[in-house]
Amino acid sequence: MEMEIVDPVAATGIFQFAWALIAWPLLVTAILLLAGKASNSWGHLLGVAGAVGDFVLAVVLWIQMIGTEVPNRAVKVPVTEWMTIGTMSVRADLLVDQLSILFALLVTGVGSLIFCYSIGYMAHDPNRRRFFAYLNLFIAAMLTLVLADNYALLFIGWEGVGLASYLLISFWQHRNSAALAGKKAFLVNRVGDLGLLCAMFTMFALFGSVNFNQVNHAISGAPATWITAIGIFLLVAACGKSAQVPLQSWLLDAMEGPTPVSALIHAATMVTAGVYLVVRSHAIYELTNAASLAVMVVGVVTLLAGAWVGSTKDDIKKVLAGSTMSQIGYMMLAAGIGPAGGAFAIFHLFTHGFFKANMFLGAGSVMHAMDDDTDMRHFGALRKVMPWTFGTFAMGYLAIIGIPPLAGFYSKDHIVVAAWERGPVFGVLAMIGAAITAFYMTRLMMMTFLGDKRWAEGIHPHESPAIMVGPLVVLAIGSAVLGVVLNNAIQVWLAPPTGHHPHELAWYHVPWQGWATLLLVILGVAVGYLVYRRPIAFDAPGKVNPLVYIGRNDLLADKFNHLVFVRGGGALASGIALVDDVIVDGAVRSLAGGTKGLGGVLRRTQTGYSRSYGLTMVLGAVIIAAVLILGRLG
């Protein structure tokens, strides 16, 4: 089937003001940072207004798009000329289409709920104003990323998200662990950024443009090797931003930031950027089986690796972080399958945004009740004292493991079926990942909310205030109903930007792979219940299972990086320094020494006596004359 490319139309009406989606939170950020302590009393309210205002505008744009004919729903919003290099010109223009508006709704909608929750969570933090400034910077950067109509402007948002994540992860920089976690996230993401830069350089060289539409039109005429290279470069970028193997090491440490940051990064912004990049570049991946296969392999490896980590951690936030790795792995697996997979990846990304934000904020509610303790071995029986948190968290739990008719059942089911159609190996591994997800999420529920209480003396758990519970309720409702509501609609909606031709099914129609996955999920729940219904015990020293040890140490990623890149890089640098000292500097020193020695020898001929110079001239003349005479005689 020939690839269909939709050309955007010129913006009219309300679409001409789409730039305000980026400008408004940037303005809020500037006000909060420049106003200083004078805004401490009202800064958080302005911060929330930054996200809510954006959400209102995104809804208006979405409604306007619904009322527009399908061929005209992709809208180009001209902003300004950015840079001209020879005959090449790059503009800073925006693309508002079905894919970007969906991300705008997710980022601003879920973001608004996280912002409201943050009012209560950060109520006693003296730097709350600065926290909300950074949150708005995060929102502005992510919207720049998803609304850009070219890879260069996308890269600006890409870097902005990286900067905002650094500022927020290390927000409590007085803690050394938080400062190091922010630095680690920043540096690992720079590795991924190199991939995006290489992809853009290649596009410039081949096509003279990095505009999405121009690249999509020209890519079919490019050499197959270069198409594959671009696909691999983009995959490296996606691995860095979306914490996919082998660039996942920063994600677990990112839990050092305030819990609303974790919810924002994992549910609505940063880690979804890699999936967006691959789906937006579907025209490239459709022409390279090698790069598409690489995306699928990375996705399936990561979904299992994340599940492994989630099964071994005792920190409630790090269990959820491992879960995010795994769920983004499902999305990457789907994105590599083809046009249908791209639509399913975004479907799961959207539902995941709700149930993962729900659970992260629920974890923050638990921490709020337990004096910021994150160790699940210290919890137990919290359902009795935190009924709202328990009820909403349970909804997210049922959604993520895929219990019908909740959201995760439909969105993950599509990915499993598509994986089976691409190859039974991928289908089986996707099913196994679902079973492990059910196990470790049941483990979390048992250790946190069920069983006997294990609180320390002096801890008095209590329900969170309404400003924190309210967003949990809204997110729980979304986790419950979005699967049924969007099951067919989102496929039809995303068909033009993903090239997918949907086949509408009744909401109750489930293929055999879905029922098989559900059986494995039930098995995972049963194992988790049977293992963790018993009293929770701390591991005896020296008796940790090797598989548990590897998972608790983030699959030894830090040890590998230290061995290969720190020590190995140091050894390589020392070797290069030795070569530089012995060969390069040695050659320079030898040349300098030889010149100095020759100068010393020649210096002795400079006596200062006229008779010596005269004798030298006579000898020279005699030698020259002898040479000439012998030459003539010869």
105 CB-side CA count, 13 A: 18
Tokens in use for 403? 């219990």
pLDDT 10s digits, 478-487: 999 999 899 8
Residue 135 to residues 42, 131, 352, 474, 565, Cα–Cα distance (Å): 15, 6, 20, 20, 32
Instruction: Give yes or no for residue 117 having a pLDDT over 90.
Output: yes
Residue 614 to residues 283, 604, 608, 619, Cα–Cα distance (Å): 87, 16, 11, 9
Distance, CA of 507 to CA of 514 (rounded, Å): 13
Q: Which of 275-279, 305-309, 360-364, 621-625 has the lowest mean pLDDT?
A: 621-625
pLDDT 10s digits, 389-445: 999 999 999 999 999 999 999 999 889 999 998 899 999 999 999 999 999 999 999
Distance, CA of 546 to CA of 542 (rounded, Å): 10
In sign, the C-alpha dihedral spanning 37, 140, 111, 354 is negative
pLDDT of residue 539: 60
pLDDT 10s digits, 57-103: 999 999 999 999 998 999 999 999 998 877 778 899 999 999 999 99
pLDDT 10s digits, 551-568: 888 888 888 887 887 788
Buried-exposed string 180-201: b where 16+ CB fall within 10 A, e elsewhere: ebbebbbebbebbbebbebbbe
- Beta-carbon contacts of 333 under 8 Å, excluding residues fewer than 6 positions away, are 295, 296, 299, 300, 303, 341, 415, 419, 426, 430
pLDDT of residue 85: 78
Distance, CA of 335 to CA of 156 (rounded, Å): 23
pLDDT of residue 571: 85
Q: Mark out the alpha helices in 314-386 (DSSP H runs).
A: 316-337, 339-369
SS3 243: coil
Is 242:278 a contact under the CB 8 Å cutoff?
no
Tokens in use for 85? 């290099």
- Pairwise pLDDT comparison (29 vs 492), residue with the higher score: 29
- Which one, of 273, 79, 33, 20, lies nearest residue 159 by Cα? 273
Distance, CA of 305 to CA of 327 (rounded, Å): 11
44 CB-side CA count, 13 A: 19
User: pLDDT grade, residue 211 (50/70/90)?
Assistant: very high
pLDDT 10s digits, 290-303: 999 999 999 999 99
pLDDT of residue 36: 82
- Strands ordered across the beta sheet of 75-85: 9-10, 75-85, 88-96
Distance, CA of 270 to CA of 164 (rounded, Å): 10
pLDDT of residue 540: 55
Is 515:409 a contact under the CB 8 Å cutoff?
no
pLDDT of residue 1: 43
Mean pLDDT rounded to a whole number for the chain:
90
Distance, CA of 559 to CA of 580 (rounded, Å): 30
Instruction: Give yes or no for residue 541 having a pLDDT over 70.
Output: no
Instruction: Give yes or no for residue 53 having a pLDDT over 70.
Output: yes
- Which one, of 102, 56, 62, 110, lies nearest residue 353 by Cα? 110
- Over residues 445-456, mean pLDDT: 90
How long is the chain?
A: 634
- Over residues 166-177, mean pLDDT: 92
Distance, CA of 275 to CA of 267 (rounded, Å): 12
Instruction: Give yes or no for residue 506 having a pLDDT over 90.
Output: no
pLDDT of residue 542: 57
pLDDT of residue 130: 94
pLDDT of residue 92: 92
Tokens in use for 413? 């089911």
